[in-house]
Amino acid sequence: MKFRVERDVLAEAVTWVARGLPSRPPVPVLAGVLLEATAEGELTLSAFDYEVSARITVPADVTEAGTVLVLGRLLADISRNLPAKPVEIVADGNKVQVVCGSSRFALLQMPAGDYPTLPTSPNPTGSIDGSTFTQAVAQVAVAADRGDTLPILTGVRVEVDGEKMTLLATDRYRLAMRELTWNPGTPDSAHVALVPARTLSETARALGAAGSIDVAFGDEAGGDGLVGFEAGRRRTTSRLLDGEYPKVAKIFPSSSEIEAVIATADLIEAVKRVALVAERNTPVRLRFTDGSVAIEAGTGEDAQASEAVEAHVQGPDVEIAFNPGYLLDGLGAVGKDYVRFALTAPQKPAMLTGQESLEADVDTSYRYVLQPVRLAS
């Protein structure tokens, strides 16, 4: 195998494919990236760890077609640090020579014959705007569980019903849901998939710059246990999580006694400052009164902080406490200039939604429900 490719093209391609390589692979070949050069002038780079696959095809000046397997992270590090000149890669015995200007590297070939076969490239079920999908995934994935106690909660539930797509995630302490419109291949398209949140987030960020992302569910992805994404010449698949996702939609409050609208950026900055004195797992307290919300942290002999932010409050005064990290996650995910708190009681979940201005209608396409922290009496 012998080919020449632009440095930036190679670096971007290898970095994208190698981003999900396991740091401690169960078998050595899974640390590799497969390079396949064809006589048609295409270079395809692939990675697979039996859970997630990634594949990208880029143009190359191919002198001799062939396939090699090399350590992915090492090739990514090398390609990013090469001088801004064309890169020539040649298979030479059990080595792969990488030459760029006066820089020369010799990488050990890994046994390509032992590399697993990647899942079949999916046929799309529908497509969705890249930037919209990236934002939606970021808004919801923030609420997915990051531990291993309940693996099913580490996923994002993706449900499709015709043109409507709903993303949902929870870690039992908060719940995030985003509804958006996509372009299904058939009007009666209906699918439910539980995608690992980390994989979905990385995929959305990697593909979101594209104008449109093709999505494949179920059989269209080559099997009921897979979901596929494709944008441009980049393709990726992920194995789905098994199990029945809890029926958490009922947690969303259907009514509220108190509603407060606050400038999102002002509240974020105030909570960040006040939370500086909050010890680990110590809540911040929000006291909603007519015209303002007071944010406080710390009690007794501990360090204390307080700050007030203008708020448009409807309903009786109420004090409620939240984990500051979870609260900031929700405020950051709302994505609007103003955030609306819908409250029922100090011990009942609060729902956060966004709106463009004080006078604008509330946007319920994104909802973030946060369980309060019980205050010591």
pLDDT digits (tens, 9 = 90+) for 305-314: 999 999 999 9
Provide the pLDDT for residue 122: 62
pLDDT tens for residues 148-203? 788 999 999 999 999 999 999 999 999 999 999 999 999 999 999 999 999 999 99
User: Does residue 62 carry a pLDDT above 50?
Assistant: yes
Provide the pLDDT for residue 220: 46
Average pLDDT of the chain to the nearest whole number: 92
- Report the phi/psi class of residue 222: left, alpha or beta, with left for phi > 0 and alpha for psi in -120 to 50: left
Provide the pLDDT for residue 34: 97
Strand partners, 70: 33
Encoded amino acid at 324, one letter: P
In this prediction, residue 249 has a pLDDT band, given cuts at 50, 70 and 90, of confident
In this prediction, residue 232 has a pLDDT band, given cuts at 50, 70 and 90, of confident
243 or 154, greater pLDDT: 154
d(CA 199, CA 179): 20
User: Does residue 254 carry a pLDDT above 80?
Assistant: no
d(CA 336, CA 119): 39
Place of tokens 């990647």: 118
d(CA 133, CA 355): 19
Provide the pLDDT for residue 221: 45
pLDDT tens for residues 315-341? 999 999 999 999 999 999 999 999 999
What tokens does 77 get? 């590090």
pLDDT tens for residues 14-45? 999 998 888 888 899 999 999 999 999 999 99
Encoded amino acid at 74, one letter: L
Domains of the chain: 2-114 (3.10.150.10), 126-212+219-248 (3.10.150.10), 252-370 (3.10.150.10)
Identify which of 118, 371, 298 has the alpha carbon closest to the alpha carbon of residue 226. 118
Query: Which strands, in side-by-side order, build the sheet including 87-92?
Result: 61-64, 2-5, 87-92, 95-100, 103-108
| 3 state DSSP class of 184 | strand
Mean pLDDT computed over 345-352 = 92
Mean pLDDT computed over 244-269 = 89
Provide the pLDDT for residue 243: 87
Write 274-278 long-range contacts (CB < 8 A, 24+).
274/305, 274/306, 274/307, 274/324, 275/324, 275/328, 276/305, 277/302, 277/303, 277/304, 277/305, 278/324
User: Does residue 97 carry a pLDDT above 50?
Assistant: yes
| 3 state DSSP class of 348 | coil
| Cα dihedral 313→319→325→330 (10° resolution) | -30
- Report the phi/psi class of residue 315: left, alpha or beta, with left for phi > 0 and alpha for psi in -120 to 50: left
Provide the pLDDT for residue 121: 63
pLDDT tens for residues 267-307? 999 999 999 998 877 899 999 999 999 999 987 777 899 99
In contact, 65 and 39? CB cutoff 8 Å = yes
What tokens does 205 get? 């960020």
With a pLDDT cut of 90, the percent of the chain lying above it is: 77
